[in-house]
Amino acid sequence: MDALARLRSKLEDMHGLDAVTLLLVWDQRTMMPAGAAATRGRHTGLLQRLGHEMLISPEVGKLIEESERLDLDPDSDDGALVRLARRAFDKAVTVPASLVEEISQAAAEGNQAWVEAKEASDFARFLPALERNVELRLRYVECFEPRAEPYDILLDDYEPEMETAEVRRIFEEIKPELVALAAERREGVDDSFLTGDFPLDRQEALSRELVDLFGTRPATWRVDPTPHPFAAGAGRDDVRITTHYFPDNLDSLFATIHEYGHGLYEHQVPEALAHLPTGTGASLGLHESQSRLWENLVGRSEPFWRFFYPRLQARFPEALGGVERERFVAAINKVEPSLIRIHADEVTYGLHVMLRFELEQDIVNGRVELRDLPEAWNAKIWDYLGVEVPNDAQGVLQDMHWSGGMIGYFSTYLLGTVMSVQIWEAAMRDIGDLDESIEQGEFAPLREWLGEHVHAYGRKFSPQETLRRATGSTIDAKPYLAYLRRKYGAPVAA
């Protein structure tokens, strides 16, 4: 076997370990008896260690070097694979194994501390674990060659090759518009009928109906309940999405549509990349562009509900039988400044992300003392959204990311949202009658377009190069801002 074939086979094995780990994580968050957490931690830890050891072995380093000498076409599957392997290898060998171990230990403990602190709504209880996680992240940063700013190194783990200055520039362009739109839209839209009696069994049937309607290959998906929805799975033919059913509202519907977008990305990577590290989404941001596209551009759109609302009413005649479609669509698009990011509307969502991005840079650059974080948080929420934070649980403690040392992650949510509109508009240009097909309940044109123009690249290229190939442009906030203005800028009838 030549070097490239051997490298490929090693990378397939590593990818296989990752896939099995994801299944264990899926199981942990949906099916596993709670008492098995410690045992599960050992097993996932073992798989991760095996994968890490495989990657940093001198043999793999040599195989990468030899493969690089082949001068492969950089656009080819193999050329991209070698490039990706180089990137992963260089990062992995730069960080000492002992630090990797400390980081994963601190993340596990931090998560536990966060759960308890959030329950008690007491930031002080979380502070020591946060300090430990931040300190380890800073040591992690120090392992690498300095970049323009230290935050670049953290961001690169979630959004490869994106620079902090670029994210800052995009966010600064968006912020004043969002603040203005959020302030403009303070008139009351009635959404009282979205709270009511929505029997769980019918919600479950609805989730399955949606996934079948949007489309999948037969016998390749599962939809299961979980407290915090996510998409996972073991590859293109084993997609697992999860959703959270509440008996008194329809939030599960949008969670399912969101996770469908994530699942479809993995489902439509080409067979040729299926068992390789290139056979997955290009980045968290691009992944989020897919989930937000389905959730917002499809799932909160007029054309979709023209088709689907009678079906929804038929499932919930008691709650929605007397509510006209126009009122329903207005209600699911209601803009209202609120405390919790994951429940925020399309307009205010971005502000929740921005304040986290700004605070993270303050943390990394030592501009804020961690013990002062709740105050800094509350001040920003007041500035951007005009709401007062009543307690830490609904403020600085609401997200789990920092408890696991995940600093640099949040911005991908908004980057993805921005890119979702660029991708949507490119699909509109190519498909022509996209709205009409959605109004007819035809989702194959959109699904296939995404497959061909986004999913087909897997992780072969950087996220921005993937976006450029799909839309002709790298990230650009203008289409997103124009979309928000069109949708939310005009006064709406109550």
Cα distance between residue 494 and residue 25, in whole Å: 44
Provide, rounded to whole angstroms, the least separation between the CB of residue 262 and Zn ion: 6
The sheet with strand 221-225 has its strands ordered as 221-225, 238-243, 231-235
| Residues found near Zn ion in the complex (CB under 5 A) | 291
Nearer to Zn ion, 136 or 223 (CB): 223
Choice among 159, 259, 266, 346 that is catalytic: 259
Is 266 marked active-site?
A: no
Among 372, 381, 330, smallest CA distance to 351 is for: 381
* Amino acid in position 241: I
Rounded CA-CA distance 81/64 in Å is: 10
**CA–CA dist 242, 29 (Å, integer):** 9
Q: Tell me how far, at minimum, the Cβ of 136 lies from Zn ion, in Å.
A: 26
Q: Which residue is nearest to Zn ion (CB)?
A: 291
Q: Read off the tokens for 240.
A: 């697992």
List Cα–Cα distances, 331 to 19, 189, 367, in angstroms.
39, 6, 40
Question: By C-beta, is 242 or 291 nearer to Zn ion?
Answer: 291
Q: 221-225 and 238-243 as β-strands: parallel, antiparallel, unpaired?
A: parallel
- What is the smallest separation between the CB atom of 169 and Zn ion, expressed in angstroms? 24
Instruction: Give burial (CB, 10 Å; 0-12/13-18/19+) of 468.
Output: middle
Phi, psi of 5 (to 5 degrees): -65, -40
Grouping H, G, I as helix, E, B as strand and the rest as coil, residue 51 is helix
By beta-carbon proximity to Zn ion, the closer residue of 21 and 291 is 291
Q: Identify any residues that bridge with 225 across adjacent strands, giving them in sequence order.
A: 243
Q: Which residues are catalytic?
A: 259
